[in-house]
Amino acid sequence: MHHIEVTINGVLRRAEVPPETTLLSALRDSWGLTGSKLGCDVGDCGACTVLVDGLSVNACLLLAVQADGREVVTIEGLSGFEYLHPLQAAFERLSSYQCGFCAPGMIISAKALLDENPAPTELEIREALAGNLCRCTGYTKVVDAITEVCRDHANAVGVEESA
Amino acid sequence: MSERITKEKQAEAQRLLEAAPATHLPAVSPRLLPEVPALTPEVNKQTPAVGQRVSRVDIRSHVTGATRYIDDLSFPGMLHCRILRSAHAHAKILSIDVGEARKMPGVVATLTGDEIPVNSFGSTYQDQPVLAADRVRYRGDGIVAIAAETEQQALEALAAVKVEYEPLPAVFDPLQAMEPDAPKIHRNSNVYTSKVIMRGDVEKGFEQSDRIFERRYTTQMIEHVPLEPFASIALWEPDGQLHLYSSNGRITLGRADLARTLGLPMNRIRLTATIIGGNFGGKNEIRTEPILALLAGKTGRPVKAVFTREEEFIASTTRHPLVMDYKTGVTSDGRLLARSVNLVLDGGAYASWSETTVGKASILAAGPYRIPNVRVEGHAVYTNKTVTGAMRGFGAPQVAFAYESQMDEIAHSLGMDPLEIRLLNGFEEGSASHTGQLLQAVALKDTLLMAAKRSGWMEGGR
Amino acid sequence: MKRPGRGIACMWYPIGFTVAANPSSAVVKVNEDGTATLLTGTVEVGQGSLTVLGQIAAQELGISADDVHVVSADTDTTPMDTGAIASRTTFVTGNAVRLAAAEAKSILFEVASEMLGVETEELEAADHKIRSKTFPDKQVALAEVAVRAQIVRGRPPLGSASFNPPTVAMDPETGQGKPFATYVYATQIAEVEVDDETGEVEVLRICAAHDSGTTINPALAEGQIEGGIAMGIGMALEEEILFDAEGGQVNPNLTNYLIPTSLDMPKIEVDIVQSYDPVGPFGAKGVGEPTLVPTMPAILNAIYDAVGVRIADLPATAEKILMAIKEKERAEVKQLGSA
């Protein structure tokens, strides 16, 4: 068993895990954070995408011990009782998802993109989502929602700068 | 107290914001966010309700990661189940030895097919075993289920199960499976369900035709790929009711199947499906539920099984591959006079939803066109391949590929516009279908013209 | 060289099971504050049926969609339903919901009739009120009627109903009959680019016009159509389960069985064509399965338009297309030689 300490969504968490435990199973089984989903367990589908030190990774490909001492952000870290992340609000407005199973991973990938590049082109958005499979939506309303967030953000920044 | 937490939260958010570049959208930040809908639904919004772009009732929980799918549930003392699947496409099972597997670390119980009260299921014909007991008919057949403390332990114990097989000749091609000397998979004939549609006199129609077009079309086997793999949990409630949580899209009929396989009255079974992470037809039958129910009964503990992605491919159903022979007679000005269609559906090892699929494929096969003379024949055939069942469209996507490819060929060959030939022959309000049904609310030509307008078809497109 | 092409395909698709009974039941309860609770045995699998069924109940009761809470997916609390299959939920379960809501409403009308002194046939439910059709000022809040129904009349305002689509059995010899209550229709036009040196296809644009009767929720219908097109693109160009000689699957994983990603999707333009089905709830039919049906032939016909080859064996992989182009070129050369 290995002792690990990971900062998850701003909170330091500890666990004792067998060495083969993935970060995904630590999140789900040790810490009860079931927002990140198990879709394939081999890094093909992206349903388990989380941020580790700001970079988007498949939590099923990372061992829990590799996350020791790092900062992890999961879907649960994006919203609280009183607010949604702008991406979440846009996805909700457009009913971008259907079965919703891919949503947590895809939203994290979208956040990772916008953190790096707040004004992506449509191709850059599609490239950022290419590792997140969805079988329901055709990605159309997902890309539309991200585009809206970027536009709103650009407008907000524009207003701030001109003020 | 709550105020203090909020202030701390705000201070933390402020710190994050200051550390981040101006354009950064932070993970935890109530401050910069645009106005967001309240978290409880606003009641008394506008009426009428029909025709409104109402938000999905589950979208808030989807975007916050709060939607609970079956694999997100767990119960105290829950065991994990894995299933050993056949090593052969077609074989007799001579013996199954779980003695060694039972001694493996963490193993609590095992289950074989002979322990299941009624070991068969199926939506039309109950020809599929829950766990194969004496014969396997494809590589996805389950043989032994093991419940252990962890999934890893259950997986390791599977390797200790000894199954002795006597391989039988197998057949993988549906046309070969129809030959009289082909290996028989269930009964005397591998053809297990057929459908005929006849209207007018198709031979006379061909005689009257100026041109005849003939081609064979084939389609492939396809997996549904729901992002959520099939998952199920069984537990016995203190009052003696069996409670199954399952990603099953048809709970009422799932409960009926469970009542049948387990020999229980319906009111002693509760089937809860929560929200399902994609179905597309692949989650319309029971799969592991009876196995988990019996393992939970044996152990007195909840038991969960989640399909691996590989099991989703090999042990769930798939889309029927079709071999489709189309022959169509037309006049030189493009009117359809006769169409004959022969369909062979690769039914895989068990019937599943093949009867429905043959039916829909046959009824729809001639296309949405007024044709005075039609003959369609459809057959579903057993092979030793993955079971084919319900999948979005039930045979319609396959036949549409064929009839619309042939319409295009006919149009090009007669020098007609592909839109024009469809408008000339397409169903109208009150047209009779190929089964003689008078059709109502027929919007076919509206859709043709609408799509043509949108794409700029008349202007040459591109 | 990349060659452009376009192709058109249309289709018809039935709603519900082929003749076989596929009933749905529903229970609607009107609460004391004028909101409602709907019990349905169908299951939300992503298609949006809980939202759509709530809208249908709301419409019948004259309240808003958000006023309806939908309870589903539990055999202990919800009535019988044939389930999320055969594009039947809006049409079949939707009809059961509409009828159940109408039954609850009829109880409310009886109570309101006394309260307002207006015959029940003269009443309508709209904007959270029950009112006279002729003199809309004669009105009373739905909530008030719901409370009064319980306290004064001793009749809880709840309704239950079952619906099974009307069909006529097919003749076993000729297949003649009425296997389905209704059908939907659709057309898709695909624009592609085919690289004639590699056989690779890029789908650039799909215009999709779909009939679903009255559209209960256009946003969700569009979502279904966009998703169906994605599945159709996969079936047209890349998806295929392959087997080895022993009947084992060769590619049972998402590394080697490829489904469309965000990069594979074209620009999709959806038009929803309105029609009115006399049997469907508020004229609605359905939208789930037919969305992918015209996609494959539209793409395959566009490939023919681009490079002049017909692939009759799905999926139309780059290798198959390239081989067909080569074969066509050889045949043309041969023809020239013999001429």
Which candidate in B455, B457, B459 is best for mutational testing of the C interface (most C CBs within 10 A)?
B455
B259 burial type by CB count under 10 A (0-12 exposed, 13-18 middle, 19+ buried): middle
Domain ranges of chain B: 1-35, 174-223+318-455
The pLDDT of residue B7 is 57
Nearest-neighbour CA in chain A from C112: distance (Å): 37
Classify domain A2-77 at the CATH class level.
alpha beta
3-state percent breakdown (helix, strand, coil) of chain B, nearest 5: 30, 25, 45
The rounded distance, in Å, linking the Cα atoms of B85 and B83 is 6
| CATH class of domain segment(s) B174-223+318-455 | alpha beta
Distances (CA, A) of C211 to B102, C208, C217: 57, 10, 13
Asked whether the beta carbons of residue C207 and residue B281 sit closer than 8 angstroms, the reply is no
Distance CA C251, CA C240 (A): 9
pLDDT at site B45? 56
Closest CA to C15 of C212, C219, C215: C212
Contact B384/C11, CB-based, under 8 Å?
Answer: no
**Separation of alpha carbons B190 and B211, rounded Å:** 36
C175 and B56 within 8 Å at the Cβ level: the answer is no
DSSP state of A50: E
Residue of A nearest to C289 (CA): A136
C9 touches chain B (CB under 8 A): yes
Q: Give Cα B269 distance to the centre of its chain.
A: 24
SS3 A62: coil
B280 dihedral zone (left: phi>0; alpha: psi -120 to 50; beta): left
Distance between CA A95 and CA A93 in Å, rounded?
6
Euclidean distance between CA atoms C176 and C269, whole angstroms: 37
Is the Cβ–Cβ distance between A41 and A60 less than 8 Å? yes
What is the Cα–Cα distance from A5 to A11, expressed in whole angstroms? 10
CA angle C232–C237–C241, rounded 5-degree value: 90
A2-8 and A71-73 strand pairing = parallel
The total number of residues written for chain C in this structure? 339
In A, which residues are within 8 Å of B305 by CB distance? none
Query: A103-116 and A122-129 helices cross at what angle (nearest 10)?
Result: 130
Measured between beta carbons, which residues in chain A are less than 8 angstroms from residue B39? 81-82
Q: What is the pLDDT of residue A158?
A: 77
Tens of pLDDT, residues B179-207 = 999 999 999 999 999 999 999 999 999 99
Q: What is the dihedral of CA B131, B134, B137, B142, to 10 degrees?
A: 20
Q: How many CB atoms lie within 10 A of CB C38?
A: 24
Residues, chain A, total?
163
Report how far residue B370's alpha carbon sits from residue A102's, in angstroms, rounded to the nearest whole number: 43
Mutate to test the interface with A, among B17, B227, B247, B392 (most CBs of A within 10 A): B227
Distance CA B231, CA B308 (A): 9
Do the two domains C2-14+182-334 and C24-161 of this chain adopt the same fold?
yes
Instruction: For B26-77, give the DSSP string.
Output: -SS-SSSPPP---SSPPPS--S--TT--PPPTTHHHHHHT----GGG---TT
Domain assignments of chain A as residue spans, ordered by start: 2-77, 86-162
Query: Does the beta-carbon distance from C48 to A136 stay under 8 Å?
Result: no
Rounded Cα–Cα distance for residues C250 and C244 (Å): 6
* C-beta of residue B284 within 8 angstroms of C-beta of residue B389: yes
Q: Does C292 touch chain B (CB under 8 A)?
A: yes
Chain B closest-CA separation from residue A62 CA (Å): 18
Q: What is the pLDDT along chain B (462 residues), one digit of tens a residue?
A: 344 445 565 555 455 444 433 333 434 333 333 344 443 334 335 567 899 888 999 999 999 999 999 999 999 999 999 999 999 999 999 999 999 999 999 999 999 999 999 999 999 999 999 999 999 999 999 999 999 999 999 999 999 999 999 999 999 999 999 999 999 999 999 999 999 999 999 999 999 999 999 999 999 999 999 999 999 999 999 999 999 999 999 999 999 999 999 999 999 999 999 999 999 999 999 999 999 999 999 999 999 999 999 999 999 999 999 999 999 999 999 999 999 999 999 999 999 999 999 999 999 999 999 999 999 999 999 999 999 999 999 999 999 999 999 999 999 999 999 999 999 999 999 999 999 999 999 999 999 999 999 999 999 854
Nearest-angstrom CA–CA distance, B352 and B307: 19
B30 to chain A: which residues are within 8 Å by CB?
A: 80, 82-83
Q: B39 in contact with A at a CB cutoff of 8 Å?
A: yes
Global pTM reads 0.94
Question: Which residues of B are less than 8 Å from C191 in CB distance?
Answer: 455, 461-462
Superfamily of domain A86-162: [2Fe-2S]-binding domain (1.10.150.120)
pLDDT at position B231: 98
pLDDT tens string C262-306: 999 999 999 999 899 999 999 999 999 999 999 999 999 999 999
Chain C contacts of B458, Cβ < 8 Å? Answer: none
Q: Which residues of C touch A95 (CB under 8 A)?
A: 48, 219-220, 223
Tokens of B413: 């060959």
Q: Where are the domains of chain C?
A: 2-14+182-334, 24-161
Q: How far apart are CA C302 and CA C6, in angstroms?
A: 4
Over range C40-55, report the average pLDDT: 96
| B253-257 contacts, C-beta under 8 A, 24 or more apart | B253/B123, B253/C82, B253/C83, B254/B285, B254/B286, B254/B289, B255/C75, B257/B121, B257/B285, B257/B286
CB B398 within 8 A of CB B376: no
Q: Do B448 and C246 touch (CB under 8 A)?
A: no
Interchain proximity A85–B71, CB inside 8 Å: no
Burial of B177 (0-12, 13-18, 19+ CB in 10 A): buried
Res C157 pLDDT > 80 = yes
- Written as six digits, the tokens of B396 are 């319609």
Rounded to the nearest integer, the mean pLDDT of chain C is 96
**Cross-chain residue pair A137–C261, CB shorter than 8 Å:** no
Nearest Cα neighbor of A48 from B266, B71, B396, C21 is B71
pLDDT at B44: 36
By the 8 A CB rule, do B391 and B226 touch?
Answer: no
What confidence score (pLDDT) does residue A82 get?
76
pLDDT of residue B19: 43
Flag if A153 and B25 touch (Cβ within 8 Å): yes
Asked if residue A115 lies in contact with residue B25, where contact means CB atoms within 8 angstroms, the answer is yes
- Beta-carbon separation of A102 and B59 below 8 A: no
For chain B, what's the residue count? 462
In this structure, what are the phi and psi dihedrals at residue A61, rounded to the nearest 5 degrees?
A: -95, -15
Beta sheet of B191-199, edge-to-edge order: B191-199, B373-382, B336-348, B322-330, B211-218
**CATH class given for the domain over C24-161:** alpha beta
* pLDDT digit string, tens, across residues B389-424: 999 999 999 999 999 999 999 999 999 999 999 999
Please indicate whether, in this complex, the C-beta atoms of B447 and C70 are within 8 angstroms of each other: no
**pLDDT (tens digit per residue) in C251-265:** 999 999 999 999 999
Alpha carbons C69 and C54: distance in angstroms, whole number: 7
Q: Is the dihedral of CA C260, C263, C266, C268 positive or negative?
A: positive
What integer pLDDT is reported at residue B28 of this predicted model?
A: 37
Contact yes or no for B1/B8 (Cβ under 8 A): no
CB proximity under 8 Å: B 16-45 to C: 41-45
The full 3-state SS of chain C, as one line of letters, equals CEEEEEEEEEEEEECCCCCCCCCEEEEEEECCCCCEEEEECCCCCCCCHHHHHHHHHHHHHCCCHHHEEEEECECCCCCCECCCCCCCHHHHHHHHHHHHHHHHHHHHHHHHHHHHCCCHHHEEEECCEEEECCCCCCEEEHHHHHHHHHHCCCCCCEEEEEECCCCECCCCCCCCCECCCCEEEEEEEEEEEEECCCCCEEEEEEEEEEECECCCCHHHHHHHHHHHHHHHHHHHHCCCCCECCCCCECCCCCCCCCCCCHHHCCEEEEEEECCCCCCCHHHECCCCHHHHCCHHHHHHHHHHHHHCCCCCECCCCHHHHHHHHHHHHHHHHHHHHHC
Are the beta carbons of C126 and B48 separated by less than 8 Å?
yes
The reply to whether residue C14 touches residue B269, judged by beta carbons under 8 angstroms, is: no
Chain A interface, best mutation among B7, B63, B392, by max A CB count within 10 A? B63
Q: How confident is the model at residue C20 (pLDDT cuts 50, 70, 90)?
A: very high
Q: Quick one: pLDDT at residue B42?
A: 43
- Which residue is catalytic, options C103, C191, C238, C289? C289
| Residue C197 designated active-site | no
Whether the CA torsion A88, A92, A95, A100 is positive or negative: it is positive
Residue in the structure block whose two tokens are 């930040």: B29
Return all residues near A92 (Cβ < 8 A) that are at least 6 apart. Answer: A84, B37, B55, B59, B60, B63
A65–chain B nearest CA distance, Å: 18
The band of A153, judged by pLDDT with boundaries at 50, 70 and 90, is confident
Residues of chain C with a CB closer than 8 angstroms to some CB in chain A: 45-48, 219-220, 222-224, 226-231, 253-255, 259-263, 265, 268
**Which chains would you list as touching B if contact means 3+ CB atom pairs under 8 Å?**
A, C
Q: Which of B62, B70, B72, B155 to probe the A interface (max A CBs under 10 A)?
A: B62
Of A45, A85, A111, the CB nearest to B227: A45
**pLDDT score for B17:** 42
What's the pLDDT tens digit per position in C57-79? 999 999 999 999 999 999 999 99
| C13/B396 touch (CB, cutoff 8 Å), yes or no | yes
pLDDT in tens, C74-129: 999 999 999 999 999 999 999 999 999 999 999 999 999 999 999 999 999 999 99
> What's the mean per-residue pLDDT of chain A?
95
The answer to whether B240 and B213 are in contact (CB under 8 A) is no
Task: Return the SS3 of B23.
Answer: coil
Number of continuous H segments (helices) and E segments (strands) in chain A = 5, 5
DSSP state at residue B387: P
CB B415 within 8 A of CB B402: no
Which of C104, A62, C45 is closest to B278 using CA atoms?
C45
For residues B158 and A158, give the distance between their C-alpha atoms in angstroms, rounded to a whole number.
Answer: 62
Chain-centre distance for alpha carbon C199 = 34
Is the Cβ of A45 closer than 8 Å to some Cβ of chain C? yes
Is A139 within 8 Å of chain C by CB? yes
Contacts of C55 (CB under 8 A, 6+ apart): B49, B50, B52, B54, C65, C68, C216, C217
Topology at the third CATH level for domain C2-14+182-334: Aldehyde Oxidoreductase; domain 4 (3.30.365)
- What is the token pair recorded at C31? 């609460």
Sign of CA dihedral C175, C176, C179, C180: positive
**Count of pairs with CB atoms under 8 A, one residue in A, one in C:** 77
What is the C-alpha separation between B197 and C18, in angstroms, rounded? 13
As given in the structure block, the two tokens for residue C128 are 């959270």
Q: How far is B25 from chain C (nearest CA, A)?
A: 23
